[in-house]
Amino acid sequence: MDTTHDREDSESDLLGAVAAGEQAAFERLYRLYEKRLYQYVYSLVNDQTVAEDVVGETMIAIWRGAGTFSGASRLSTWIFGIARHKSLDAIRRTGRRQREVDLDDVAELPNPCDGPMERVHRKQVESLTKRALAMLSREHQEILRLVFYEELPYDEISTMLGIPSNTVKTRVFYAKQHLKRALDRLNQKTPIL
């Protein structure tokens, strides 16, 4: 069974190979992070072209800086930290204001045992959740993505965002409350089957 710790160890080994200049290792690392980085960056910049550029800039920074990773945090935290800084730089460069955007759906493989009603219900829940997430502030969207989608620990999110750990906990608490209220409001308008 592949645990998070084992995955981080193998990714750190992969980064070591990238630091040694192994292009195949870099390509593998790129494939591991490309989609997740794009979704995260897009949630910050809300522009497809800019998001694609930022992902490219992030990966170039990883290629060039692979040897500087100290291991003080998870590799994923380091990578998402680079992506966040590149995103904020892109926002400043383009003069765009950070806008509220919805989080992308997490791709799920359909369960072959599900019948038509279960599939319809799951699609309704996904749609409702996406709409509810879009109603949250950018800060709440970002914190939920980092905690639940990327599974980063609070202390590393704290370092990455430059905010106290207690602020991370508070944002998660309030983001979940706001999400629940948004889901309740939407569910009253469009009840799920």
Dihedral-angle region of residue 151 (phi above 0 means left; psi in -120 to 50 means alpha; beta otherwise): left
What pLDDT band is residue 12 in, cutting at 50, 70 and 90? confident
Among 72, 99, 126, residue at a domain's last position: 99
Q: 95 and 6 in one domain?
A: yes
At 53, which CATH number?
1.10.1740.10
Q: 169 and 89 in one domain?
A: no
The confidence score (pLDDT) of residue 73 equals 84
The confidence score (pLDDT) of residue 119 equals 66
Among 29, 64, 99, residue at a domain's last position: 99
Q: 80 and 9 in one domain?
A: yes
Of 190 and 154, which is predicted with more confidence? 154
Q: 83 and 34 in one domain?
A: yes
- Residue 143 has a CB neighbour count (10 Å cut-off) of 26
The confidence score (pLDDT) of residue 168 equals 93
Q: In terms of residue numbers, what domain contains 149?
A: 102-193
Say which amino acid occupies 191.
Answer: P
Phi and psi at 102, nearest 5°, equal -85, 155
For the chain, what is the radius of gyration of the CA atoms?
A: 18
Q: 64 and 14 in one domain?
A: yes
Of 182 and 118, which is predicted with more confidence? 182
Q: 106 and 85 in one domain?
A: no
Q: How far apart are CA 143 and CA 152, in angstroms?
A: 10
Q: 120 and 162 in one domain?
A: yes
The confidence score (pLDDT) of residue 3 equals 52
Q: 157 and 75 in one domain?
A: no
- Residue 64 has a CB neighbour count (10 Å cut-off) of 11
Report the number of distinct structural domains present in the chain. 2
The confidence score (pLDDT) of residue 81 equals 92
Q: 70 and 116 in one domain?
A: no
Res 41 pLDDT > 50: yes
Q: 6 and 55 in one domain?
A: yes
Q: 144 and 78 in one domain?
A: no
Among 99, 118, 138, residue at a domain's last position: 99
Distance in Å from the first CA to the final CA of the chain: 36
pLDDT digits (tens, 9 = 90+) for 179-193: 999 888 887 776 655
Q: How far apart are CA 163 and CA 127, in angstroms?
A: 32
Query: Comparing 40-44, 112-116, 128-132, which segment has the lowest mean pLDDT?
Result: 112-116
Q: 2 and 95 in one domain?
A: yes
Res 122 pLDDT > 80: no
Mean residue pLDDT across the chain: 81
Close Cβ partners of 62 (under 8 Å, ≥ 6 residues apart): 15, 18, 26, 29, 79, 82
At 156, which CATH number?
1.10.10.10
Nearest Cα to Cα of residue 78 among 31, 37, 119, 137: 37
The confidence score (pLDDT) of residue 9 equals 56
Say which amino acid occupies 61.
Answer: A
